[in-house]
Amino acid sequence: MRTPLVAGNWKMNTTISGAVALAGEVAAGVEHMAAVDVAVYPPFVALQSVARALHGTRTSVGAQNMHFEESGAFTGEVSPNMLDGVVASVILGHSERRHIFGEPDELVARKVRSAFDHGLTPVFCVGEQLAERESGRTEEVVGRQVGFVVDQISPAEAARMIIAYEPVWAIGTGVNATPDQAEDACAFIRDLIDGSFGQEAAGRARVLYGGSVNTGNWDDITRRENVDGALVGGASLDAPDFVRLVEITRDALPAD
Ligand code: 13P
């Protein structure tokens, strides 16, 4: 019932011309895989060029971050108005924003609110650090992160939201969560949406897994019931690998 989404977070990689080339290769490779939604998240400076290159394809483009205000004295920041007409979605609360740049839960929640106010779909990221998992606090941490956002949105918005479960210890480390760990966390997040907004929203919201997804480990993870796709870092910079991840996702869908 939920269309899976495979999303490529390019982080601080590519040049403008490199981004356009990569986007073009991805779009051509996934064009015939209509059962899976595909999105790429290039750096800000490449967004317009990539959006132009992807126009008319089924690959969409999103931003990696934004400020919640529309304008003002915020040197170096990008506002929702600036993204208007260029992107459809925006990654918010990525662990690198939280842990390298110190973004707190309150700030991430304001950004999610602002994204909805400006017609953008948030790809809201949550996930625990290694010490938190090892001390049995995964649900407490993820529950807190989701809790801040739940307070800011309506049931209809919750249904449209994309949540990415990205355990910090699995990001860029080559150590992915096991299929069970990914499924348990994604199911937990869906239960939280159910608890706050009911079954309808929980059944529609998409929950992605992210963290060292690659062509060797993805098949076992994507087959799990509550995993609705992937947020891919490193492997999204290689067009054939990324296209293969979309293909694996499609092939794992139950036949109807
Ligand atoms: P990697 O796939 O490189 O581990 O990155 C995951 C991620 O942070 C996607 O947002």
Going by CA atoms, what residue is nearest to atom 7 of ligand 1? 233
For 190, phi then psi, to 5°, come to -65, -40
Mean residue pLDDT of the chain comes to 97
pLDDT, residue 45, reads 98
Counting Cβ atoms within 10 Å, is residue 205 exposed (0-12), middle (13-18) or buried (19+)? Answer: buried
**Whether 89 contacts 125, CB under 8 Å:** no
The fraction of the chain above a pLDDT of 90, given in percent, is 98
243 lines ligand 1 (CB under 6 A): no
210 lines ligand 1 (CB under 6 A): yes
To the nearest 10 degrees (0 to 180), the angle between helices 105-117 and 138-150 is 40
Whether 1 shows a pLDDT value over 90: the answer reads no
Residue of 5, 89, 95, 231 to test ligand 1 pocket, by largest number of atoms within 8 Å of CB: 231
The DSSP string of 19-77 is HHHHHHHHHHHHTT-TTSEEEEE--GGGHHHHHHHHTTSSEEEEES---SSSSSS-TT-
Query: Which of 219, 152, 140 lies closest to 185 in space, CA to CA?
Result: 140
Ligand 1 centroid from CA 1, angstroms: 26
Over range 211-220, report the average pLDDT: 98
Ligand 1 centroid from CA 230, angstroms: 9
pLDDT, residue 218, reads 98
pLDDT, residue 30, reads 98
In this structure, which amino acid lies at residue 88?
A
Whether 249 shows a pLDDT value over 80: the answer reads yes
pLDDT digits (tens, 9 = 90+) for 89-114: 999 999 999 999 999 999 999 999 99
Over range 189-194, report the average pLDDT: 98
Catalytic entry in 94, 103, 128, 132 = 94
- Cα–Cα distance measured from residue 108 to residue 139, given in angstroms and rounded to the nearest whole number: 18
- Is 200 among the residues known to form the active site? no
Compute, in degrees rounded to 10, the torsion defined by CA atoms 140, 144, 146, 147. Answer: 130
Ligand 1 centroid from CA 213, angstroms: 7
Whether 211 shows a pLDDT value over 90: the answer reads yes
Ligand 1 centroid from CA 198, angstroms: 30
pLDDT, residue 255, reads 83
Over range 4-10, report the average pLDDT: 98
Whether 256 shows a pLDDT value over 80: the answer reads no
- Is 94 among the residues known to form the active site? yes
pLDDT, residue 43, reads 98
**Whether 93 contacts 147, CB under 8 Å:** no
